[in-house]
Amino acid sequence: SRFFKRQNEHPQFKSKKSPKQRYTPQCTDNNIAVSGNCLKLPKLGLVKFADSREMKGRILNATVRRKPSGKFFVSILCEEEICELPKTDSAVGIDLGITDFAVMSDGSRNDNNHFTRQMEERLRREQRKLARRALAAEKRGITLSEARNYQKQRRKVARLHERVANQRNEFLNKLSIEIVKNHDIICIEDLNVKGMMRNHKLAKSISDVSWTSLVSK
């Protein structure tokens, strides 16, 4: 392993009871392949999956994840030639904010959809239920990993958080693709997000807009 070759530090312990699980097999001798709505994986064989889009290029590896909501996802890393986008001879500056998510130098604006705020009341209600289930399990002397009602409610809360994250990610993907396709030069202000998060009045709003995710895309 990489640890014994002194390429990594001590490996972190990963409990099988953890709601987050993942493994990444490498593709060798076509042990990872996609056929219709079935995915071939090492040690698992053929697994049915909901196809998201057509696979292009040579498969390098596949990462199987179990989210806290209990859903399983697979990310397939492929190697392919990237075609350069046509030149637009256009440049744009972007001002990121909270009221308007992004204001372009050409005057166009992108509204802040407040994904977390839209789900805030429901999240608060379900999290209160989760706290009550945890208290009930503690009174009965049951560990949370074995408390069925607690685990059921935990997955429900996780699905709500996952829904918010998916909505935000879809919005950021569409916006970033539109900006990249239409401009050759993109300038974005350098924000001290960590410093701004120290302001408790703005922290929740800054976390919801997720400026860093847009820049990293």
> Which two tokens mark 165?
């994250």
* Count of residues in the chain: 217
Instruction: Find, among 130, 17, 119, the residue nearest to 68 by Cα.
Output: 17
Residue 133 CB neighbour total at 10 angstroms:
19
Burial zone of 103 (CB within 10 Å; 0-12 exposed, 13-18 middle, 19+ buried) = middle
β-sheet bridge partners, residue 95: 103
Q: Is 64 helix (H, G, I), strand (E, B) or coil?
A: strand
- Does residue 1 surpass a pLDDT of 70? no
Place of tokens 């995915």: 39
- Does residue 106 surpass a pLDDT of 80? yes
- Does residue 141 surpass a pLDDT of 90? yes
pLDDT score recorded for residue 19: 66
Task: Over range 134-155, report the average pLDDT.
Answer: 93
Task: Over range 132-157, report the average pLDDT.
Answer: 93
- pLDDT digit string, tens, across residues 90-101: 999 988 888 888
Average pLDDT, the chain: 85
pLDDT score recorded for residue 120: 86
Residue type, 104: M
- Does residue 147 surpass a pLDDT of 80? yes
- Does residue 5 surpass a pLDDT of 70? yes
- Does residue 134 surpass a pLDDT of 90? yes
> Which two tokens mark 50?
């909901």
- pLDDT digit string, tens, across residues 23-69: 888 988 888 988 888 889 988 889 898 866 778 889 999 999 988 88
pTM for the whole structure: 0.74
- Does residue 194 surpass a pLDDT of 90? no
With residue 149 as reference, give the H or E element that holds it: helix 148-182
Q: Is 166 helix (H, G, I), strand (E, B) or coil?
A: helix
Q: Is 86 helix (H, G, I), strand (E, B) or coil?
A: coil
> Which two tokens mark 119?
């789900």
